[in-house]
Amino acid sequence: MKTRSFIQYFLLLTVVVLMGACSTDEETVIVPKTLEQYKQELQAFVTSQIDFVDNCVVGYNKGDFRSSTNYEPYSTAYKAKLNAVLTTLDNPDLVIADVANAYKSFAAEGKLYQAEIFISDRRPLHELIVACEALNTATPDGSAAGQIDPAERVPFVAAITAAKAKRSASALVQRQVQEEVDKLNAAKTAFENAIAK
């Protein structure tokens, strides 16, 4: 009799523990995605990336491609991989593992391409560089009015060169762009003040 009540107690305890483990708390419920959902997500991403590549230009705006040298080869390679993924998604025998592999298939080209995209607006810096280069070119060396001592030109040219290097850096954030604009403006002001009157 004792054995039977012990077994009943043990079974009751097991049921209580299992009920607690099978909680329906919404935070712990995992609803797996279907193959169709994975396909739709990948197709939406790939389509948006193809649209981005098609509309991307070389320039200094946020979202522009930074290098005319790499623009064509990187764009072509990335877009080819993206189009191959769209072809893969049309396969009627597609399984979830194929979708995962499709994501991996364009990773290398995607990294190369995205690394060339500016994350901040470089136009203010670019426009200031152009203005400073024009001022530098238009100001002759000498000591007469409107001329500059060659020694006074050196820091200005160095500031322009430094600003060009920063303008081309891919990871420059907007705050850093403004810092470079401020530095170059200070160098320009010093240059203008050094021009003989």
Q: pLDDT of 132-170, one tens digit each?
A: 999 999 999 999 999 999 999 999 999 999 999 999 887
pLDDT at 19 over 80: no
Give per-residue burial for 58-95: e unless 16+ CB within 10 Å, then b.
ebbeeebbbeeeebeebbebbbebbeebeebbeeeebe
**pLDDT recorded at residue 87:** 95
**pLDDT recorded at residue 150:** 94
Element containing residue 47 per DSSP (H, E): helix 35-55
148 forms beta bridges with 141
Element containing residue 74 per DSSP (H, E): helix 68-89
pLDDT at 13 over 80: no
58 forms beta bridges with 65
Share of the chain above pLDDT 90, in %: 79
Domains present along the chain, CATH in parentheses: 35-115 (1.20.1270), 123-194 (1.20.1270.90)
Neighbours of 122 (CB within 10 A): 25
Q: How far apart are CA 186 and CA 192, in angstroms?
A: 10
Answer yes or no: pTM beyond 0.75.
no
pLDDT at 2 over 70: no
For the segment 17-24, the average pLDDT, to the nearest whole number, is 54
**pLDDT recorded at residue 171:** 82
**Range 151-156, long-range pairs (CB < 8 A, 24+ positions):** 152/191, 152/194, 153/191, 155/187, 155/190, 155/191, 156/132, 156/187, 156/188, 156/190, 156/191
Lowest mean pLDDT among 4-13, 169-178, 182-191: 4-13
